[in-house]
Amino acid sequence: MDKRYYEPEYVRTLFDKMSASYERMNYITSFGFSIRWRKQLLQSLPNNVSQIQVIDLLTGMGENWNSIKHKYPNCQLTALDFSEKMLKHAHKTNDLKFKQRVRIKCADILNNDLPSEQYDIVTCSFGLKTFSKQQIISLATEVKRVLKKGGHFSFVEVSEPKNLLLRSAYSFYLGKIIPILGKLFLGDPTEYKMLWKYTSAFKNADDAAAIFSDAGLQVHKQSFFFGCATGFWGVK
């Protein structure tokens, strides 16, 4: 895919435009499985009721927060994203549901001032596909840097199934039907066509998992619903 589609300003603008409808469309895109996959994002990580530090990367509107707070009830949760319009929704969620206890930070994870060895847990859902291979290498370096020794991480991403029949059906749905729904919601299907282009180019989390492993992190791959979502988790 054209490298300009991975430029931070392009991706930021894309998600700013989708911010009003992204949560609904993400639910529809995944046939409702996005909520389940967000919960499964955390299943492989150890439970902890201490006052640990957790950071949710590419947090969007804060869709992961309920699951994180359920698993880590006493954690200090930091949420990072570079889309200001997505974070406007996150701030509302923080006010209404979390009593402003989530620390929201508007920043690019690849160009940030996060302290080193600060976090016990790093999470991220549905953001890997918007990174190029070189950017994922940088991402792995940053995750390793900000994690404490013995800290854990978990990533999940919508993926292209390996089963030919399922892949064909899923490709048609994401490539053709979702842009139509995007036009109904936004008046312009362009943004949601890009989500499929990212997914198609990303394929699955195998390459990203290998990159994280090459960075010196212990990595375990995982797959959900016949490969419609893939991810990995591990420890520093």
Paired with 111 in beta bridges are 108
DSSP H helices in 131-177: 133-146, 164-172
Tell me the average pLDDT across 14-38. Answer: 73
- Name the percent of the chain lying above pLDDT 70: 83
Say if strands 218-224 and 119-125 run parallel, antiparallel, or are unpaired: unpaired
Using DSSP, state whether 1 is helix, strand or coil. coil
In the chain, where the domains are located: 3-235
CA dist., res. 45 & res. 126, Å (int):
18
- Residue 199, pLDDT score: 86
Rounded alpha-carbon distances, angstroms, from residue 103 to 81, 91, 147, 150: 11, 10, 17, 23
Angle of the 206-214 helix axis to the 133-146 helix axis, nearest 10: 50
- Residue 31, pLDDT score: 59
Mean per-residue pLDDT over the chain, rounded: 88
Nearest to 149, CA basis, from 127, 116, 174: 116
Three-class secondary structure assignment of 122-138: EEEECCHHHCCHHHHHH
pLDDT in tens, 187-205: 556 777 787 788 889 999 9
- Residue 189, pLDDT score: 64
76 near 100, Cβ under 8 Å? no
Rounded alpha-carbon distances, angstroms, from residue 57 to 7, 60, 104, 149: 18, 9, 10, 19
Nearest to 62, CA basis, from 74, 48, 79: 79
pLDDT in tens, 176-191: 666 666 666 655 567 7
- Residue 168, pLDDT score: 64
- Residue 183, pLDDT score: 64
Please tell me the CATH code under which domain 3-235 is placed: 3.40.50.150
- Residue 28, pLDDT score: 64
Residue 163 DSSP label: S
Using DSSP, state whether 14 is helix, strand or coil. helix
